[in-house]
Amino acid sequence: MLQKLWLLFFTFAKIAAFVLGGGLAMLPVIEETFVNKKKLLTGEELLDVVALTQTVPGIIAANAAVSIGMKIAGFAGAVAALLGAISPSFVIILIIAWLFPELSPDNRFYLGAFAGIRAGVTGLIAVTAWKLGKKTLTGKFEAAAAMIFLLAALFGVNPGLIIVAAIVTGMVYCRICVSRVRRMEAEK
């Protein structure tokens, strides 16, 4: 048990320290570590974690750490993963706050660093979206719903409303599918 707790703390601390861009950018590294290498989660379980962390308030990285930690090692795992996820950010923010007053907004290295970080984070989020899309959009319903919700987001619909609409749409679709199966069984 202690070995799993250390793995959760160290893995999330390493991810939080070296992966820029927050929770969504962390997902490929989380998948590689917990699904592909350690085999502590399945791809489906990770998709469930992603869906859950997107629908509850809070920091995506912390929500993912708590959810994955809980799934792997219970409450202690959730605490270990959360502490690992927040410790590097806490230390880094303290250092930046200490150095920030000394930085000039005209400093080209400072401006270049942030331009590079923004570009890198955009790339990481795009890769994550692509991987999630390939795993999630497996049928006509999923593809059509994703397109509708993407258009809604592009037209500025509130993300909370999109999430609620997606939940309701999924529930209605599931209900229709269950009704069809029952009707087909009754006809046999």
Let me know whether 41 and 112 are in one domain: yes
Residue 136 has a pLDDT of: 84
Number of domains observed in the structure of the chain: 2
Do residues 99 and 131 both lie within one domain?
Answer: yes
77 and 21 both lie in a single domain: yes
- On whether both 170 and 109 belong to a single domain, the answer is no
Q: What is the mean pLDDT of the chain?
A: 87
Does 116 lie in the same domain as 82?
A: yes
146-171 average pLDDT score:
90
Tokens of 14: 């390493």
Shared domain check, 102 and 12: yes
Final residue before a domain boundary, out of 121, 136, 151: 136
Residue 127 — very low, low, confident or very high, per pLDDT cuts 50/70/90?
confident
What is the model's pLDDT at position 47?
Answer: 85
**Same domain? 84 vs 163:** no
Confidence of residue 29 (pLDDT cuts 50, 70, 90): confident
153 and 89 in one domain? no
Residues 180 and 131 in one domain: no
For residues 77 and 155, membership in a common domain is answered with no
Higher pLDDT, 81 or 187: 81
- Quickly tell me which residue has 């502490």 as its tokens: 83
- Band of pLDDT at residue 23, cut at 50, 70 and 90: low
What percentage of the chain has pLDDT greater than the value 70?
98
Positive or negative torsion for Cα 48, 54, 56, 57: positive
pLDDT of 148 > 80? The answer is: yes
* Domain enclosing residue 164, as ranges: 137-188
CA distance 136 to 47: 8
Per-state percent for the chain, helix, strand, coil, to nearest 5:
85, 0, 15
pLDDT at 101 over 90: no
